[in-house]
């Protein structure tokens, strides 16, 4: 069993327990009654003109307690405090891990962050059931994660459609050229390239450069994983990333606000003209 398969097995077990507490009809009703989602596509530069997209590298800053590869990363007693630092540092989107077994996250963390900031929020989890998409919207999510490697084509397309029907956007995560092709085929507007192979947890930072040329300018392109410093952000920016998703490097920094600002500055300065 791969790491990804093992994580998903646990996700399904935990989902079953939540479903017993809040049934499908109830979670759909809560999702429909939630305030309208914020436009994460626009927040990441998706509606901006060519010149503005060239100029700014956006950062998705993550509230992340643990990781399968590194174990415990940071004690985060008050996720809301960290989220406000991210907001003040210029984060375009804030990501909150809600997977518990491997990442130490929870919907309680998500709720605390949602109550603290108006910044668009990504519910970061392993989406394998429509229930989780309704659940994300019910808790105020604006963006959900869809991992291509975890879904077949029918699921990927229907999950993306449901996300859009609920007024949200999806970060569609890829790791191979074939996965990028599948994401584009279903109409993904925000595509992440994860340089970490979720089946083995190995990191190859050259993955982003290999895949970025396959993603058209109309799509917001997000570089994920492998970020240790401003230099790494600058490298992804120079390779055409519109945004980067950063968790570990920020939660382990004693001054995440300043670190975030340095990432935005380095990435924006390195961005080349569009038209890859």
Residues annotated catalytic, as ranges: 62, 64, 124, 173, 194, 224-225
Residue 251 contacts residue 73 (beta carbons within 8 Å): yes
CA neighbours closer than 13 Å in the CB half-sphere of residue 176: 9
Distances from the Cα of 165 to the Cαs of 31, 37, 134, 140, in angstroms? 11, 11, 11, 15
Distance in angstroms (rounded) separating the CA atoms of residues 192 and 264:
18
Distances from the Cα of 242 to the Cαs of 64, 181, 202, 234, in angstroms? 22, 19, 24, 11
Phi, psi at 123, each rounded to 5°: -85, 105
Distance in angstroms (rounded) separating the CA atoms of residues 110 and 274:
34
Distances from the Cα of 2 to the Cαs of 23, 54, 148, 150, 264, in angstroms? 30, 38, 15, 11, 34
Distance in angstroms (rounded) separating the CA atoms of residues 160 and 163:
5
Distance in angstroms (rounded) separating the CA atoms of residues 32 and 237:
37
CA–chain centroid gap for 208, Å, is 16
Beta partners for residue 95, in sequence order: 62, 122
Measured at the CA of 211, the angle between CA 207 and CA 215, to 5 degrees, comes to 150
């Amino acid at each position: 069993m791969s790491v990804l398969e093992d994580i998903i097995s646990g996700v399904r077990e935990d989902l079953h327990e939540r479903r017993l507490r809040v049934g499908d009809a109830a979670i759909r009703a809560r999702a429909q009654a939630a305030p309208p989602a914020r436009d994460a596509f626009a927040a990441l530069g998706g509606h901006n003109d060519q010149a503005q997209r060239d100029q700014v590298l956006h950062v998705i800053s993550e509230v992340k307690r643990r990781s399968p590869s590194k174990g415990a990363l940071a004690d985060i007693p008050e996720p809301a405090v960290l989220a406000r630092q991210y907001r003040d540092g210029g984060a375009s989107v804030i990501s909150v891990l809600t997977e518990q077994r491997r990442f130490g996250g929870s919907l309680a963390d998500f709720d605390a962050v949602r109550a603290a900031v108006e910044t668009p929020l990504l519910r970061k989890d392993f989406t394998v059931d429509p229930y989780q998409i309704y659940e994300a919207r019910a808790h105020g999510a604006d963006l959900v994660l869809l991992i291509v490697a975890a879904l077949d084509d029918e699921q990927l397309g229907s999950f993306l459609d449901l996300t859009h029907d609920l007024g949200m956007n999806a970060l569609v995560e890829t790791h191979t050229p074939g996965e990028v092709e599948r994401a584009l085929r279903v109409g993904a507007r925000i595509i992440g390239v994860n340089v970490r192979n979720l089946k083995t947890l190995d990191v190859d930072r050259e993955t982003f450069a290999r895949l970025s040329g396959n993603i058209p300018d109309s799509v917001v392109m997000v570089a994920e994983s492998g970020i240790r410093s401003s230099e790494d952000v600058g490298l992804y920016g120079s390779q055409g990333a519109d945004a980067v998703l950063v968790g570990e490097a920020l939660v382990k920094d004693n001054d995440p606000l300043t670190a975030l600002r340095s990432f935005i500055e380095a990435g924006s300065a390195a961005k080349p003209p569009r038209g890859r």
